Structure 1
Amino acid sequence: MRRLSPRYSVWLLLLTGLAALVLFPRLIDTLKAQEHPSLEPKAGRVLVARPSGVSDTFHETVVLLLEAGEGQRTWGLVLNRVRAPDEQPLPQGVDRWGGPVHPAHRITLTPRPHPPEGARRLLSGLSWYETDQTTQPPADSSLAFAGVSAWGPGQLEQELALGAWWVVEVRAEEVFTPPGNLWAALAARHL
């Protein structure tokens, strides 16, 4: 059997190392995907922004989907932003910044067992309803949001195909997790 020259051995070793660097992360992603099967986006699930997966607008965000699915508009609320994008304080009576569009739009999430008339049930123990800028949300553990996050037809599906988001099921109480801990807690399920 003929031995390779030291020069060819070094090249072979370098090529093997480069192949491992390229293939190893893909193998890890494949194994993680099997461990956490992909979920379809639907109302009541959250989108967790993957590191470097989405624009700066959604960096380290968690978006609760209020409506999603075929034939429906896809929109929701960023759960973990306590300031507007320009770092300005939120309007009076608003707890969180819900998203980059329609800043005048107001949504309230409530864990109340008997939500107000017109509220839409999202999860067991969680409902949402629209308010206007003059309506004061209840003083209980409800959260009031200004603005929403919305996707055009096919836009979210394209972002999901590019690996920008994890779709995660949550319980109602997780929606009310302090905003500073929410992204890390949900992203840790996939890291």
Structure 2
Amino acid sequence: MQESQTASGATDLTGSMLIAMPGMGDPRFEHAVIYMCAHSDDGAMGLIVNKPSADVSLGALLQQLEIEGSSGLDRKSVYFGGPVEMGRGFVLHGADYRSDLTTLQVDDAFCMTGTLDVLEHIARGDGPSQWLAMLGYAGWGPGQLEQELAQNAWLVCAPDPALVFATPDEQKWGAALKRLGIPALALSAEGGRA
């Protein structure tokens, strides 16, 4: 995680992970772990990496998009990436793949592609080696994320490809907290001020 600042002097959280604090008040983000793809004075965008959709499988999505794929993809989840633009798809993946159309390289380990060609490559077996397919994203307007951080709604930690791509979804929140040295049971829903 590269520490830098936005033009306004706020810490740039691009390439960081946000961990939802208990008692946030928004059930869509309960126990969420979000990989931050962009953060600037204009706002922020991230993808929730631990909330697989109960309603959509990758096989069903590929079929709907008329993309032929291997049968092994039927069991792969499509994730709830966040509540903004739920009909828009994204693939968060490792840096071993670049789309011919558009791939955002967030840092040395993570990229994001929002075009259909990445799904076509995954279906053919020549896409990224590690990936999560998502519908929707988490978005914040100018200053909104900074306000939520000041209200103790989120903790911030360095990203970890093993946590994002290899840890079971139900264990990602606790594993992210553990990276900060915080046991999940030690967290309170009430923030304090010194």
Larger radius of gyration: 1
- Greater percentage in strand: 2
The aligned runs of 1:154-173 (5 Å cut-off) are 154-173=143-162
Structure 1 gap ranges (5+) = 1-38
TM-superposed CA distance for 1:80, in Å, is 0.4
- In the alignment, the residues of structure 1 paired with residue 172 and residue 25 of structure 2 have an alpha-carbon distance, to the nearest angstrom, of 17
- In the alignment, the residues of structure 2 paired with residue 53 and residue 62 of structure 1 have an alpha-carbon distance, to the nearest angstrom, of 13
Look up the equivalent residue of 2:21 and give its one-letter code.
R
Select the residue among 57, 77, 88 that pairs with 2:47.
77
TM-superposed CA distance for 1:124, in Å, is 1.8
The aligned runs of 1:44-123 (5 Å cut-off) are 44-70=15-41, 72-83=42-53, 87-90=54-57, 92-93=61-62, 95-117=78-100, 118-123=102-107
Residue in structure 2 matched with residue 42 of structure 1 by the alignment: 13
TM-superposed CA distance for 1:158, in Å, is 1.1
Contact 1:65–1:77 (8 Å) recurs in 2 = yes
Number of corresponding residues: 149
What's the C-alpha RMSD, in Å, of the aligned pairs? Answer: 2.5
Check if 1:127 corresponds to 2:94.
Answer: no
Q: TM-score, normalised by structure 2?
A: 0.67
- In the alignment, the residues of structure 2 paired with residue 172 and residue 134 of structure 1 have an alpha-carbon distance, to the nearest angstrom, of 19
- In the alignment, the residues of structure 1 paired with residue 139 and residue 115 of structure 2 have an alpha-carbon distance, to the nearest angstrom, of 18
Residue in structure 2 matched with residue 181 of structure 1 by the alignment: 171
Q: TM-score, normalised by structure 1?
A: 0.68
Contact 1:124–1:172 (8 Å) recurs in 2 = no
- In the alignment, the residues of structure 2 paired with residue 124 and residue 49 of structure 1 have an alpha-carbon distance, to the nearest angstrom, of 24
- In the alignment, the residues of structure 2 paired with residue 95 and residue 61 of structure 1 have an alpha-carbon distance, to the nearest angstrom, of 15
Structure 2 gap ranges (5+) = 1-9, 63-76, 184-194
Which moved further from structure 2: 88-97 or 59-68? Answer: 88-97
TM-superposed CA distance for 1:114, in Å, is 3.9
Q: Structure 1 residues 51, 129: CA separation in 2 closer, same or farther (over 3 Å shift)?
A: same
